[in-house]
Amino acid sequence: MTDTALPGADSLLRRTLGEQRIALVAWRLLVLQNAHPAVDAGVGQLSTYRSHPWRRIEHTMDSGRRLFFSDREALRREIERLERSHRRIEGVDAHGRPCTALDPAVRVWVLVTLYEAMTALPALSGRPLRPAELDRLYREFRQVCEAFALPDELYPPTAADVPDYIRRTIRDTLELTPTARDMLFTVLTRAPAPRRLGRLRPAWPLLRRGVARFLTALTLADLPPEFRAKTGLSRSRAAAALSWTVHRAARLIAERLPDRLRYRTQPSGERSRSAARVPRPVRAPRRDSRPARLTAFFHQVMDQTGDGRLTAADFAAMAHNTCWPLELDQKGESAVYAAFDSWWRHLLASTDTDGDGEISCEEFVTAMLAGADRDPDYLRDGLHVAVRAMFRAADLDGSGLLCADEYRTLFGGSRVHPAELTHGFHQLDADGDGRITEEEFVRGFTEFFTAHDTDSVAGTQLLGRP
């Protein structure tokens, strides 16, 4: 890694990437990245984008923030985290060709598409960057990319060469892969409600079709013409008009907003905070709510792939999402993955009644209720292994205690409102000292899986009010 200074708060890169409206080209970015057959192969094997598309966007945005809004040490940790995660992804693509997520050419493509998205946004809004601005943005972008230690010859030499690089990769490599097609036409039609939808969540089934049509039309209109031509995609006049209106309106609004509202991440690197919302009221208690609670836990937490069955891939995804906000080293990540694999093997041995190597929701709920009622050690030998690994991973200072911030980092990040998690934390912090021990943490999960009454036991609210 060189000693070249990283882009600072006055950089064009941070001002462009940090704006809220960069989200308008986020889906377009993901489609282009996943149109690469090697990326498609890795995503198809391990990603949970089908059942958690909003989380996939959040992860992409969060990783971009870690890469482009941090100091050199934080940048190094994020690159190491990405490499550890991608090292697990290898195999063959849809045509039987061998591929790996660590292929330097593939990694350069993923990085350059992010730069291209930053240039596409102002162009789509009617204010394209001038050549001098493009040169500056690309120079700042490459300053960060140097930390990846990828061969220089794989990158376009200058900003002026990027359009040819994009067109050439589209012509020679990109396809309308299953993942890219899914993202354009299928995923959004069954996407779960975004966590920040708040009181509108019950209306999501009615809103979803309109949101899906909007994002599909906008993405089709915004994709490079060369990609649409090669893949046989077309944009209607209505979609073109939608793109013209949305991007220009977003630019005009953004230019008039204060920075705290205009930027998702401030150029300084600080996260913008939205106004606090009032937590949901406590619902009336229900007797023996375990079946409903375990069913909800199965679908919302455990079934990461969204196919209604638990497999080893779901537990690997849970381990990944535990590690994601914590920026662990390789030893820490390996411990979390091993713990979740242990839980999976224990659960499979005690739950897979039909021997198909998968666990249905019914099998899970039945086995968890029977196991917890029959054997006091049932949870200890499975769930508790993963829970203790989560606690130790989140306890970054090794104090043996979790404070509220560590708890929120582990369970929330940018996808769950802090007020809900603060409530759950205080429920577990019985003595009010602002800290949770490992045993309190484990007891909270035990109560979540075993308590009959959601109102009388603190552990049933460890992820927020029910």
The pLDDT of residue 412 is: 67
Mean pLDDT by 10 residues, the chain (466 residues): 74 92 92 91 67 73 82 85 73 70 88 96 96 96 93 96 97 93 87 75 86 93 96 94 97 93 84 49 55 84 84 88 82 91 89 81 87 80 91 87 83 59 73 82 83 56 50
Q: Which residues contact 120 (CB under 8 A, 6 or more apart)?
A: 25, 28, 222
Q: What pLDDT score does 366 carry?
A: 87
Q: Contact 212/194 with Cβ under 8 angstroms?
A: no
Looking at residue 420, its pLDDT comes to: 65
Q: Are the CB atoms for 43 and 182 separated by under 8 Å?
A: no
3-state SS class at 139: helix
pTM value surpassing 0.95 = no
Sketch the domain layout of the chain as residue ranges.
12-262, 290-461
Residues 391, 441 contacting (CB under 8 angstroms): yes
Contact 334, 342 (CB under 8 A): no
Q: Which spans in 283-382 are helix H?
A: 290-297, 312-323, 330-351, 361-374
What pLDDT, on a 0 to 100 scale, did the predictor assign at position 3?
Answer: 57
pLDDT of residue 180: 92
At residue 167, what is the residue type?
A: R
**Architecture field, domain 290-461:** Orthogonal Bundle (1.10)
According to the model, what pLDDT value does residue 268 have?
A: 82
**Which pLDDT score, from 0 to 100, does residue 407 have?**
83
Q: How far apart are CA 454 and CA 466, in angstroms?
A: 8
Which residue in the block uniquely carries the two structure tokens 């404070």? 403
Given its phi and psi angles, is residue 121 left (phi above 0), alpha (psi -120 to 50 degrees) or beta?
Answer: alpha
DSSP 150: -
Return the closest-CA partner of residue 309 out of 338, 351, 343, 337: 351
Assess contact for 61 and 264: CB atoms under 8 A: yes
pLDDT at 453: 62
**Crossing angle (nearest 10°) for helices 26-34 and 37-46:** 100
